[in-house]
Amino acid sequence: MISLKKIVGTMLVGTMLAFGASSINAADSKRPIIIPVHNWSSQVVMAYVIGGIFESIGDRVAYTPSDSQAVYESIRLGDVTISHEVWQSAFGKSFDAARDKGGLLDWGDHEARTLEDMGFPNWVMDKGLCPGLPNWEALKSPACAKNFATPDSGGKGRWLEGPQSWHQDLMP
């Protein structure tokens, strides 16, 4: 299993290599390096870590709240300087579309891979409440869904996950 330390280290090295040469000239620029801040913790932490690295070598840095789908077009247009975290399954289409228009560079990949999966409590299997699990399609059954219903879910199962924009049309 890849450790968080290795993932963070890989991201930092990649960022420093990708932007190290250009940041030397940026220290003389009147315009700050603009780093987007999204709505998930690993991205926010790394945005400030990367910003701190740039500041430590004399660059000016500004942080801006940014939509995780629109940020790639913002980079292409010059409104944002970098994006250090692209989840291909969630933002790949937006990234590819902006890159294909020109003005956005893909500085490479790393070995860290995400695991995007669905889970359910053991007691659901132990009590046989959702025949067909672990196949996710078992969750479509009303008999199964009722086990995940909450007072405000209209009798349907409640699925807890990230924003709709992260998974597009994979999970309606």
Per-residue pLDDT of the chain (172 residues; tens, 9 = 90+): 455 555 545 555 455 444 444 444 455 568 999 999 998 888 999 999 999 999 999 999 999 999 999 999 999 999 999 998 888 778 888 999 999 999 888 888 778 777 667 778 898 889 999 999 888 888 888 888 888 888 988 888 877 776 666 665 555 5
Task: Report d(CA 131, CA 138) in Å as an integer.
Answer: 7
**CA-derived radius of gyration, the chain:** 21
* Helix, strand or coil, per DSSP, at residue 167: helix
Sequence spans of domains, the chain: 4-101, 122-160
| CA distance linking residue 54 with residue 62, whole number of Å | 11
Written as six digits, the tokens of 22 are 């250009």
Measured CA to CA in angstroms, residue 86 lies from 56, 77, 136, 151, 163 at distances of 25, 18, 26, 36, 15
